[in-house]
Amino acid sequence: MVKNNGCSLSTFERNKYFYSKLLTVRDFELEQRYGIEKNHLINRLILGEGIVCGLEIELKEQQETDLLSVSLTPGVALDRCGCEIVVSKTKSEQLEIKSPGKKYIYIEYDERSKEPVADLANGSADESEGRYNRIEESYSLSLSSEAPPTKDSDTEDSDTEDSDTENSDSEMTAESLDELVRQYHNQALKTCSRNKYDQIPLAVVDISEGGEATLNEEETQKYRPVLRSNPMLYDLLSHVYDLTKEAIATPRIDANSFISSDESITITPTEEPQQFDFTLASGMTEPSTQNRSRVFTGKEVLELTTNEELPKGSLQPVTVEINELNPEEPFSVMLAPLLPATVPPVFTPTLGEQDNKSGLRFVFGSHPELPRTYVAYVPQPYNKSFEIHGCDPNLSELDLKEVEVVYWVIAGAKAPSLRDRILELLANNPEGMTMTAISRELDVERSSVDTELDKLVNEGAIERSGRSRYILVE
């Protein structure tokens, strides 16, 4: 087994080539070692150690009491020296059991020589025994009674009294974040030898006196180290960022003053126990114009048709156009006729009638004898318009020639313009932002952002600083 000395810091050397240079085995080994140890240096000091993916242990049926049969799934790990441990396919292994009790399965980087060849330069094939053409980067599994360090044992308990801040609710500023980074560096990175696993623990197995083995899931999760890869950390930070944005946007209640952090909510205790007054600041009852649906309402008069070929009570359709809608913007329509109190009820028994009072009556569902029907027809694709149709036999019986129909058009929230999005973004970033940052944040092409920024600068809404940052003008 060939061992790599990549666990210690050393000065790197590489070949210097020139014409007619005599290259020997020493030179070629140096060339290999330079690249290998550079990779190992980055692995152990930048990426860390632990299991990157896979490498699950499964127990197989035991054929002998002194041998533990296991199956190892494909995966990758980095050891404390930065060596890559790669298992390319599922492997079955047998590990020697020397005594019963709790055992720990480890995986360790290993190198194996392969492809024996004859060294004809130094004699016959018999005299060159031990010469190999390849080195295979492999691994070895072992079963041990020695427990590995726990996953969090590398973080020593610090003096909490010194690290506590006077105000735990204060905002995290750039200065305090830098201070946290410095504290972590002083505690954990003063030296370059903080990695702790000589071997990577994969699983914990309990072996009985009779040689029966069971996988200890709880202990396995306790000792099995997971390498915090960059994609993993990015996903975690993204999740924390989303939660932080939601927490910041949500008003917090001050338990002492009973006033929310944005002063939009006030809670005042009353003289009665377990009661309080809840006050919402003026203007807070209206939802944000960017988040609420848009509603347009109006009233149209439908006249009874004189066409005798149509059913009794048929009304002349009316077309309604809502110019405030965007082209091809989806919307829905709700109708209600404004009927006089003398119009008979729709159903018997009476539903929704209030002592012959006039009012809007919304009918949901269907009925074979329903004498009154009003329909909003919306052509497709959407074109800002719809038609109101109706049939009400009661109108002709009462000698009424027309009926007023109230409509409500409900459309989605209007998308903010690029101008509004830029102004909102700069308002949330008072230190200013570059055009590239604005384009990336809004996911809009630079040319479109550049044009809109020029308009805002000319209007005096924003200004450009000497650092090519755009700042909102107060």
Give pTM, 2 decimals: 0.43
The 10s digit of each residue's pLDDT in 317-364 is: 999 999 888 888 888 888 888 877 666 655 544 555 555 555 555 554
Mean of the per-residue pLDDT values for the chain?
75
User: Between 423 and 153, whose confidence is greater?
Assistant: 423
Strand-pair partners of 102: 206
User: What band does 50 get if pLDDT is binned at 50, 70 and 90?
Assistant: confident
* pLDDT for residue 19: 93
Q: What is the pLDDT at residue 320?
A: 93
Confidence of residue 86 (pLDDT cuts 50, 70, 90): very high
- Reference 293, options 409, 379, 378, 383; nearest CA is 409
Q: How would residue 257 be classed by pLDDT, with cut points 50, 70 and 90?
A: very low
Is the pLDDT score of 388 beyond 70?
yes
What pLDDT, on the 0 to 100 scale, is given for residue 157?
41
Tell me, what's the pLDDT at 250?
Answer: 54
Residue 240 has pLDDT above 80, yes or no: no
Average pLDDT over residues 82-88: 90
pLDDT at 47: 81
pLDDT of residue 158: 39
Q: What is the pLDDT of residue 288?
A: 42
Residue 377 has pLDDT above 80, yes or no: yes
pLDDT at 432: 85
Does residue 152 carry a pLDDT above 90? no
Task: Please give the pLDDT value at position 174.
Answer: 42
Indicate if the pLDDT at residue 202 is higher than 80: yes
Token couple for 191? 């030296």
261: which residues sit within 8 A by CB, 6+ positions away?
251, 252, 254
CATH numbers and ranges of domains, the chain: 25-152+196-223 (no CATH), 294-411 (2.60.40), 418-472 (1.10.10.10)
Q: What percent of the chain has pLDDT over 70?
A: 68
pLDDT at 364: 47
